[in-house]
């Protein structure tokens, strides 16, 4: 029977050049405490539900909205196929929830919506043929653009011959909004250091007496009478998109570009829907005033600048405080204004009895 040999086991003793267990504990334990505290701070920081707070790493507790959004019946948010639509909307993110369009749908219009971003942010010379090829037989095209992006879109369209891709449009909202104020929740998706960054950015933004750029992306400014206009906790301050300023004002030249495009495509009625920037509505109401005067003079579309300035005092959170977009209650007011403009062009078809 073979005998087995047992190898001796040597245990490394603490000694010079070998930290003791107590020393390792003294190094590890403070680090563990710091990491645990950072994790707790991040977990207790509300998850983002606004684009300004997310990009600027700002507190939703301070800047999140608290007005419950209005309910809209899902059937009014359904879009029509392009071939069946009375109205074609070509827009941007301000049209992605289908909320303002729901006022048209409820009144009997069939509405389809597509987006500038699908077509290189431009409308080209083959615009009529592009609509024809998609089967659109309606009477009206609404061209919606936020103020800060319209100049570039018009400039792009002056030099392009053909649309970059065929027209396509979904039947459901591209971006369904929140149905209620988000309840308190632990931020499990936050990064370890995000809680501290959010606290620091928010503290600096609230303390600053000058416009303060948070996370190099979002400009936080003081807003006159902010607590009468908004529902967020830090209502004397407002996060804004820096491009509102950087992209400059619209001018009468832009109105001339719009008119030239309209005149070049007379087969269908075109209605321009230019939405003022959040900065224009709340901070710089004189922005693009010469553009607005010419827009009204040429009767190319409704004056949504004066509309926005009036609405901001008629409801809290006409724009979301933590976002760059109009709120859902603001969208319904916007839809009512657009319904008035559309009715002047052609009456809605008779509503089918249910």
Domain assignment present for residue 204? The answer is no
pTM of the full structure: 0.86
CA 289 – CA 5 distance, rounded (Å): 96
Domain assignment present for residue 155? The answer is yes
HSE, side-chain direction, 13 A CA sphere, residue 153? 25
The two tokens of residue 168 are: 């396509």
The 10s digit of each residue's pLDDT in 166-217 is 999 999 999 888 888 877 765 657 665 576 788 899 999 999 999 999 999 9
CA 339 – CA 342 distance, rounded (Å): 5
266: CATH? 3.40.50
Domain assignment present for residue 42? The answer is no
Domain residue limits at 128 = 74-177+249-314+326-345
pLDDT value for 19: 58
Domain assignment present for residue 215? The answer is no
Residue showing tokens 């030099």:
159
Domain assignment present for residue 9? The answer is no
* Domains contained in the chain, number: 1
Q: What strands lie across the sheet with 140-146, from one edge to the other?
A: 111-115, 87-91, 140-146, 269-275
CA torsion angle 70 292 310 313 (round to 10): 90
Domain assignment present for residue 19? The answer is no
Domain assignment present for residue 25? The answer is no
Which residues share a beta bridge with 237?
222
Q: How far out from the chain centre does Cα 56 lie?
A: 14
The 10s digit of each residue's pLDDT in 243-293 is 999 999 999 999 999 999 999 999 999 999 999 999 999 999 999 999 999
Domain assignment present for residue 164? The answer is yes
- The strand pair at 212-214 and 218-222 is best described as antiparallel
pLDDT value for 308: 98
């Amino acid at each position: 029977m073979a005998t087995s040999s047992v190898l001796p086991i040597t245990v490394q003793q603490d000694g010079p050049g070998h930290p003791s267990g107590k020393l390792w504990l003294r190094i590890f334990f403070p680090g563990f405490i710091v990491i645990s505290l950072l994790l707790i701070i991040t977990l207790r920081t509300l998850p983002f539900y606004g684009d300004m707070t997310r990009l600027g790493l700002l507190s939703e507790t301070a800047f999140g909205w608290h007005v419950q959004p209005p309910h809209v019946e899902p059937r009014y948010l359904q879009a029509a196929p392009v071939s069946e639509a009375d109205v074609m909307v070509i827009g941007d993110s301000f049209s992605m929830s289908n909320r303002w369009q729901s006022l048209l749908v409820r009144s009997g219009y069939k509405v389809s919506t597509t987006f500038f971003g699908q077509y290189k942010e431009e409308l080209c010379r083959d615009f009529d043929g592009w609509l024809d090829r998609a089967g659109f037989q309606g009477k009206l095209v609404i061209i919606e653009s936020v103020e800060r992006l319209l100049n570039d879109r018009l400039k792009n369209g002056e030099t392009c011959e053909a649309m970059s891709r065929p027209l396509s449009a979904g039947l459901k909202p591209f971006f369904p909004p929140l149905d209620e104020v988000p309840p308190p929740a632990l931020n499990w998706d936050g990064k370890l250091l995000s809680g501290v960054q959010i606290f620091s950015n928010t503290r600096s933004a609230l303390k600053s007496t000058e416009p303060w750029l948070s996370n190099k992306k979002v400009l936080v400014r003081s807003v006159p009478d902010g607590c009468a206009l908004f529902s967020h906790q830090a209502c004397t301050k407002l996060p804004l998109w820096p491009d509102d300023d950087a992209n400059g004002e619209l001018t009468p030249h832009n109105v001339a570009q719009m008119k030239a495009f309209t005149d070049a495509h007379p087969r269908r009625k075109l209605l321009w829907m230019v939405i003022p920037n959040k900065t224009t509505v709340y901070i710089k109401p004189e922005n693009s005033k010469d553009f607005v005067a010419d827009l009204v003079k040429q009767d190319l579309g409704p004056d949504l600048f004066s509309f926005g300035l009036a609405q901001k005092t008629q409801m809290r959170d006409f724009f979301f405080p933590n976002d760059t977009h109009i709120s859902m209650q603001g969208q319904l007011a916007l839809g009512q204004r657009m319904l008035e403009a559309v009715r002047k062009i052609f009456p809605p078809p008779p509503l089918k009895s249910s």
